[in-house]
Every structure is written in C-alpha cells, then in structure tokens.
C-alpha cells in the first residue's frame, strides 16, 4: 500500500471514529433529514389539497389552482414579462436594502455610543416609526415621482427601523467593562468602538438584516403596485385588475421565492462573517 493510500485510509478511519465518539453529529444529520423531508411532505400535501379543493369545494376564481398558477408563470415567461419584472424588483430591493441597512447601522451605532444623543432623538424616531409606511407612498410619489427612486426609498424606509433597533440593542448589550479595559490599555475611543463595540454588536446587526430583507422586498413590491409600470408588484396589480387570479398568485409565488433566496443569501453571509459562533440555519 502506498503512502497516499495509507493516508486516505487513516483519514477515513478517523472520520468513522469521529461519528462513533460524537453521536451528536449523527443526531444532527438525522434531524436535518427529518426537517428537509417534513418540509417536502408539507409542500406536496398543501399543493395536492389545494389542487383537489380548487373547482370542487371552492371556486377557482377565488383561489385558482397550483396547475393554473404554474401555467400563468410560464405564460409570463413566454411573453417576456417575468424576467424583466424580476430584475426590476430585485434591483429596487437590493438598493433599498443597502441604503436602509447602512443608514440603520450607522444611526444605531451612534445611539449606542452616545446615550445622550439617544435620549435626545429617541422620541422623534419613535414618532416616525409609528407612522404607517403605506401612508408615506403618496408623499414619496409627490416628492420623487413614480420612477425608480420612489421604490428604492420606500424599500429603504421599511428596512431602516428593524436594522436600527437591532443595532442599537446590540451596541447597548456590549459589556462596558471590556471597553473600559481596552481604554485603560491605551486604546482610543475610536479603536474601542471598532475593536469591541462593532464586533460584539454584529450578531444583533445580522438579526436585523435577516429580519429586514423581506421588508425591502415588500417595500419594493408595494411601491410598484402604487407607482410603477414594471416589476413583480406591477404584474400583481395588473393581474388583479384583470381578475386574473392565477396571474396574481403566480407573481406572488415568484416574489416569495425571491424573498426566500435573499434571506438565505444573508444567512450565508452571516455564517461566513460570524464563523466564531455556532449559527444554526
């Protein structure tokens, strides 16, 4: 047996011993299989029950059917409407998410670093956060028109507060003794913020980012329904105006898949950024 073959056998033996020594690994794998299998079963049963009820128990006009929805999505694609709509909505969502997230993180860190500023501005932010977001759309249209800017800014408005609140909470949750220690060791206030406060708050920041990415998508789609001639929101609105239930459900279905994909992407970034923590997905 060659040296390479010996090394391979040793590695395989070590891997087998690992599973014997640590049964939690096998248990976690079984749990993952159970979770994945259960999700697949739930989806199949839901779609099957939906298909059976449509037209038999409930009129198709109200709930359509999975087969009709799939046909509507295919028609959107064949007509050249689906891909441009996805690109438009995704662009608005990404820019709105980036703008809202960056602003929320910066303001949250400022509030966390300076309790005095937080005390001064807190009631104003609470008041703004109490405004129903949909009520802002007419003002956004008045200020910025019905173009790309309105959709991006409205998405950013929905993203800002979840990110801000989580970042602020994370900054306040930092152990102040650590900051005092590093300051005693000669670090400047800026270094203490950069090396202690920001890394400690990252877990909270990512919680806010995962919470807000669907809000960015929702904001873009709602703005498209009110002020737009493209995007998935526009497809939903047009289909609804034409009493095309399958088309509305089809656009909603694509929007849902887009939201799941974006949330998963943020989770992957979180896992790579916070490798020092055991994050379960």
Sites in the chain below the pLDDT cut of 70: 1-22, 175-196, 276-281
pLDDT in the model for residue 280 = 45
CA 49 to chain centre: 29
Read off the pTM.
Answer: 0.80
Closest CA to 168 of 102, 116, 118, 98: 118
**Angstrom distance (rounded) from CA 281 to CA 163:** 20
Is 156 buried (19+), middle (13-18) or exposed (0-12) by CB count in 10 A?
A: buried
CB 203 within 8 A of CB 211: no
pLDDT of residue 104: 93
Q: CB of 112 within 8 A of CB of 197? A: yes
């Amino acid at each position: 047996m060659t040296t390479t073959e010996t090394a391979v056998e040793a590695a395989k033996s070590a891997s087998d011993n690992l599973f014997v020594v640590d049964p939690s690994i096998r248990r976690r794998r079984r749990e993952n299989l159970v979770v994945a299998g259960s999700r697949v079963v739930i989806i199949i049963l839901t779609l099957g029950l939906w298909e059976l009820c449509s037209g038999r128990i409930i009129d198709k006009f109200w709930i359509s059917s999975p087969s009709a929805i799939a046909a509507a999505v295919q028609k959107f694609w064949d007509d050249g409407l689906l891909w441009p709509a996805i690109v438009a909505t995704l662009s608005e969502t990404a820019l709105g998410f980036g703008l809202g997230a960056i602003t929320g993180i910066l303001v949250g860190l400022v509030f966390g670093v300076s309790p005095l500023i937080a005390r001064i501005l807190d009631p104003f932010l609470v008041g703004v956060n109490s405004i129903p977001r949909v009520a802002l759309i007419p003002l956004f249209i008045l200020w910025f028109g019905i173009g790309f800017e309105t959709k991006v800014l409205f998405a950013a408005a929905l993203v800002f507060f979840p990110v801000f609140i989580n970042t602020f909470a994370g900054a306040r949750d930092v152990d102040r003794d650590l900051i005092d220690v590093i300051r005693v060791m000669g670090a400047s206030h800026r270094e203490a913020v950069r090396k202690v406060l920001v890394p400690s708050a990252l877990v909270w920041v990512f919680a806010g980012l995962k919470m807000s990415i669907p809000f960015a998508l929702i904001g873009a789609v709602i703005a498209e329904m009110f002020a737009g001639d493209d995007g998935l929101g526009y497809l939903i609105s047009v289909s609804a105006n034409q009493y095309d239930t399958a088309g509305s459900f089809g656009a909603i279905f694509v929007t849902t898949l887009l939201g799941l994909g974006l949330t998963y992407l943020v989770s992957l970034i979180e896992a790579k950024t916070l490798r020092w923590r055991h994050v379960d997905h």
